[in-house]
A and B are shown apart, each in its own frame.
Chain A
Amino acid sequence: MEIRRCNDEIEISELDPFLAELLRQIPASADPKGTTAAEQRLFSPPAHETETDLCKEWKLYVEPELRRLFQTATETVATDLQQLNGSEKTLANRVLRIPWKHADAWLSALNQARLVIAAKYNFSDAELGDHFRSPIGSRRDLSLFQVNFYGFLQECILREVG
């Protein structure tokens, strides 16, 4: 896999089918529905619970805005990912071009996905810091790989954003 900036796009080339599939899973992975821990992480309280009025108002007025913001980002990413749904041979390496103006949406969606997966599997600090863990032997291992892969992509995009 190779990532580089070309004019007003970020180009991810030499994407093998496995990594392409992981990318396709970003929008679904970013959805916290059905996991209380993930919901709580994405929509954390703005203050200590003793600030009851503030917390109530936050839920009422701010949380819906945040939901819209997060959803817009994942929708943008889902649209970009349609490039990977072509009719090319399944096992061929692919190229994904991300418009420069979508960089923030990608950073947000990747972050949402990482936080949701980490909350779902309750990864420890040690697990999250172990970037050399291998091989992938379970769904949990695969999810940890997903978190690290998305983190790597975030780093690459951040480097391009400067």
Chain B
Amino acid sequence: MSRMPRRECSRVAQKKQFKEPIGALWEKGGATTIERPAIEKETRSKEDLDLPWLVIVHNDPVNLMSYVTMVFQRVFGYPREKAERHMLEVHHKGRSVLWSGMRERAELYVQQLHGYLLLATLEKAA
């Protein structure tokens, strides 16, 4: 997901807000002290950091079983047996958790699965 805004676990959004417009500094001439920029820290709660994200694939009567198996092998690098096990779980139980871990990676997996036209979502582990 190259164009998604980057979200890191300890994300710190730094917004430098100059108190005066740049032009005003030149008008005053001579040495001017620029006020220290205000830095806003935006952090996630401990709960957000601790909980893994799940990549879930949902049942779809149109996608072929062999196609879904191939997609699981390609996206997650699973061996055929494991991919088939997940495919059958999707088929019989309606959904299967394919992967769990960091949110960014989970988003990337879901994007790849959507690229293969599978019904996939990510959700926070309960």
Show the binding face of A for B, using Cβ within 8 Å: 42-48, 51, 54, 57, 61-62, 65-66, 69, 107-108, 111-112, 114-115, 118, 123, 125, 128-129, 147, 151, 154-155, 158-159, 161
Residues of B within 8 A of A44 (CB): 114, 119-121
Q: What 7 pairs across the A-B complex have the smallest Cβ distances?
A: A61-B3, A125-B61, A118-B62, A128-B61, A111-B117, A46-B110, A158-B66
Find chain A residues with CB under 8 A from B107 CB. Answer: 46, 54
Q: Which single member of A62, A69, A114, A123 contacts B1 (CB below 8 Å)?
A: A62
Partner of B66, one of A43, A115, A155: A155
When C-beta atoms are compared, the residue in chain A nearest to B115 turns out to be: A69
Kindly provide the distance from the CB of B123 to the nearest chain A CB, expressed in whole angstroms.
Answer: 6
CA distance A8 to B116 in the complex (A): 23
Q: How far is the CB of B54 from chain A (nearest CB, A)?
A: 10
| Given A114-B62, A115-B62, A125-B61: A158 touches B117 (CB 8 Å cut-off) | no
**Shortest distance between the CB of A116 and any CB in chain B (Å):** 10
28 contacts between A and B (CB under 8 A): A42-B117, A44-B114, A44-B119, A44-B120, A47-B110, A47-B121, A47-B123, A54-B107, A61-B3, A62-B3, A62-B4, A62-B114, A65-B111, A66-B114, A66-B115, A107-B67, A111-B67, A111-B117, A114-B62, A115-B62, A115-B63, A118-B61, A128-B61, A151-B64, A154-B64, A154-B67, A158-B64, A159-B66
In angstroms, how far is the closest chain B Cβ from the Cβ of A41?
A: 8
Alpha-carbon distance between A28 and B117 when the two chains are bound, in angstroms: 17
> Residue B102 at the A interface, CB < 8 A?
no
Asked if B70 is at the interface of the complex by the 8 Å CB criterion, the answer is: yes
With contacts A111-B67, A158-B70 known, is A46 near B61, CB below 8 A?
Answer: no
Q: How far is the CA of A54 from the CA of B110 in the complex (A)?
A: 12
Per the bound structure, the CA–CA distance linking A82 and B121 in Å amounts to 37
Give the chain B neighbours of A54 by CB distance below 8 A. 107, 122
Chain A residues contacting B63 (CB-CB under 8 Å) are 111, 115
Contacts A128-B61, A161-B70 given; indicate if A57 touches B117 (C-beta within 8 A).
Answer: no
Known: A46-B107, A46-B114. A155 touches B64 (CB 8 A): yes
Residue of B nearest to A107 (CB): B67
Task: Give, as a whole number of angstroms, the nearest-CB distance from A91 to chain B.
Answer: 32
Nearest CB in chain A: distance from B103 CB, A: 9
Assess whether A47 is in contact with B122, with CB atoms less than 8 Å apart: yes
Question: In the assembled complex, which residues on chain A have CB atoms less than 8 Å from the CB atom of B5?
Answer: 57, 61
- Minimal beta-carbon separation of A145 from chain B (angstroms): 14
